[in-house]
Protein backbone atom coordinates (compact mmCIF):
# COMPACT_ATOMS: atom_id res chain seq x y z
CA UNK A 1 0.00 0.00 0.00
CA UNK A 2 2.96 2.30 -0.56
CA UNK A 3 1.69 5.81 -1.22
CA UNK A 4 4.93 7.48 -2.26
CA UNK A 5 7.03 5.17 -4.37
CA UNK A 6 10.62 5.76 -5.33
CA UNK A 7 12.47 3.77 -7.92
CA UNK A 8 14.97 2.35 -7.93
CA UNK A 9 15.85 1.67 -4.30
CA UNK A 10 19.55 1.67 -5.18
CA UNK A 11 21.10 3.40 -8.16
CA UNK A 12 24.70 3.23 -9.25
CA UNK A 13 26.01 5.64 -11.85
CA UNK A 14 29.36 6.69 -13.19
CA UNK A 15 31.02 10.00 -12.60
CA UNK A 16 29.59 12.47 -15.12
CA UNK A 17 26.93 10.11 -16.49
CA UNK A 18 23.42 11.60 -16.31
CA UNK A 19 21.01 9.82 -14.02
CA UNK A 20 17.29 10.15 -13.34
CA UNK A 21 15.52 9.20 -10.14
CA UNK A 22 11.77 8.79 -10.13
CA UNK A 23 8.98 9.31 -7.65
CA UNK A 24 5.31 8.52 -7.97
CA UNK A 25 2.41 9.02 -5.60
CA UNK A 26 -1.07 7.60 -5.26
CA UNK A 27 -2.23 10.31 -2.86
CA UNK A 28 -3.08 12.95 -5.47
CA UNK A 29 -1.20 15.51 -3.41
CA UNK A 30 -0.43 18.82 -5.06
CA UNK A 31 2.99 19.40 -3.51
CA UNK A 32 6.02 17.22 -4.20
CA UNK A 33 9.49 17.65 -2.70
CA UNK A 34 12.99 16.34 -3.33
CA UNK A 35 15.39 16.12 -0.41
CA UNK A 36 19.04 15.08 -0.40
CA UNK A 37 20.26 13.24 2.69
CA UNK A 38 23.93 12.47 3.19
CA UNK A 39 25.08 10.06 5.83
CA UNK A 40 24.45 11.34 9.38
CA UNK A 41 23.28 14.69 8.04
CA UNK A 42 19.93 16.43 7.94
CA UNK A 43 17.74 15.96 4.88
CA UNK A 44 18.27 19.05 2.73
CA UNK A 45 15.53 20.43 0.51
CA UNK A 46 16.59 20.69 -3.12
CA UNK A 47 13.34 21.93 -4.69
CA UNK A 48 9.63 21.37 -4.72
CA UNK A 49 6.58 21.68 -6.93
CA UNK A 50 3.36 23.29 -5.84
CA UNK A 51 1.12 21.92 -8.57
CA UNK A 52 3.10 22.89 -11.67
CA UNK A 53 4.95 25.75 -10.01
CA UNK A 54 8.61 24.91 -9.51
CA UNK A 55 10.48 26.31 -6.48
CA UNK A 56 14.22 25.90 -6.47
CA UNK A 57 16.24 26.36 -3.29
CA UNK A 58 18.86 29.07 -3.68
CA UNK A 59 21.76 26.76 -2.86
CA UNK A 60 20.70 23.82 -5.05
CA UNK A 61 23.42 23.26 -7.68
CA UNK A 62 22.49 23.79 -11.33
CA UNK A 63 23.50 20.18 -11.89
CA UNK A 64 20.18 19.18 -10.31
CA UNK A 65 16.97 19.54 -12.30
CA UNK A 66 13.44 18.32 -11.82
CA UNK A 67 10.41 17.55 -13.94
CA UNK A 68 6.80 16.99 -12.99
CA UNK A 69 4.86 15.86 -16.06
CA UNK A 70 1.65 15.27 -14.09
CA UNK A 71 0.32 15.18 -10.53
CA UNK A 72 1.49 11.64 -9.89
CA UNK A 73 5.08 11.71 -11.08
CA UNK A 74 8.15 13.74 -10.31
CA UNK A 75 11.71 13.18 -11.53
CA UNK A 76 15.09 14.26 -10.28
CA UNK A 77 17.72 14.61 -13.00
CA UNK A 78 21.37 14.90 -12.15
CA UNK A 79 23.09 16.04 -15.31
CA UNK A 80 26.70 15.28 -14.43
CA UNK A 81 26.95 13.44 -11.12
CA UNK A 82 30.03 14.02 -9.05
CA UNK A 83 31.34 11.95 -6.17
CA UNK A 84 29.83 14.48 -3.78
CA UNK A 85 26.36 13.76 -5.10
CA UNK A 86 26.33 10.28 -3.61
CA UNK A 87 23.50 10.37 -1.09
CA UNK A 88 20.01 9.18 -0.27
CA UNK A 89 17.40 11.10 -2.26
CA UNK A 90 14.02 11.38 -0.63
CA UNK A 91 10.76 12.30 -2.30
CA UNK A 92 7.87 13.61 -0.24
CA UNK A 93 4.35 14.89 -0.84
CA UNK A 94 1.92 17.16 0.91
CA UNK A 95 -1.63 18.28 0.25
CA UNK A 96 -2.40 21.95 0.50
CA UNK A 97 -1.86 23.43 3.94
CA UNK A 98 -1.73 20.12 5.77
CA UNK A 99 1.27 19.79 8.00
CA UNK A 100 2.04 16.17 7.23
CA UNK A 101 4.67 15.21 4.69
CA UNK A 102 4.52 11.71 3.27
CA UNK A 103 7.93 10.33 2.38
CA UNK A 104 9.00 7.59 0.03
CA UNK A 105 11.65 5.07 1.08
CA UNK A 106 14.33 6.91 -0.84
CA UNK A 107 16.83 6.09 -3.56
CA UNK A 108 20.41 5.52 -2.46
CA UNK A 109 22.66 6.90 -5.20
CA UNK A 110 26.25 5.76 -5.57
CA UNK A 111 28.67 7.48 -7.95
CA UNK A 112 31.68 5.50 -9.13
Partner 1 sequence: GEDVEQSLFLSVREGDSSVINCTYTDSSSTYLYWYKQEPGAGLQLLTYIFSNMDMKQDQRLTVLLNKKDKHLSLRIADTQTGDSAIYFCAERRRSRSGGYNKLIFGAGTRLAVHP
Footprint of partner 1 on this chain (CB under 8 A)? 4, 40-45, 48, 50, 55, 57-58, 90, 92, 99-106
For the CB of residue 17, give the shortest distance to partner 1 in the complex, in Å.
Answer: 26
Residue 15 or 29: which CB sits closer to partner 1?
29
- Could you tell me the smallest distance in angstroms from the CB atom of residue 8 to partner 1? 14
The 10 Å CB-count burial string (b at 16+, else e) for 17-53 is eebebbbbbeeebebbbbbbeeeeeebebbbbbeeee
The smaller minimum CB distance to partner 1, of residues 12 and 80, is found at 12
Q: Where are the alpha helices (DSSP H) in the chain?
A: none
Amino acid sequence: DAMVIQNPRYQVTQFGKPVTLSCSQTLNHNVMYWYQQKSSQAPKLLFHYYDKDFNNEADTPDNFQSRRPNTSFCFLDIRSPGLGDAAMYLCATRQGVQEKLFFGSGTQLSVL
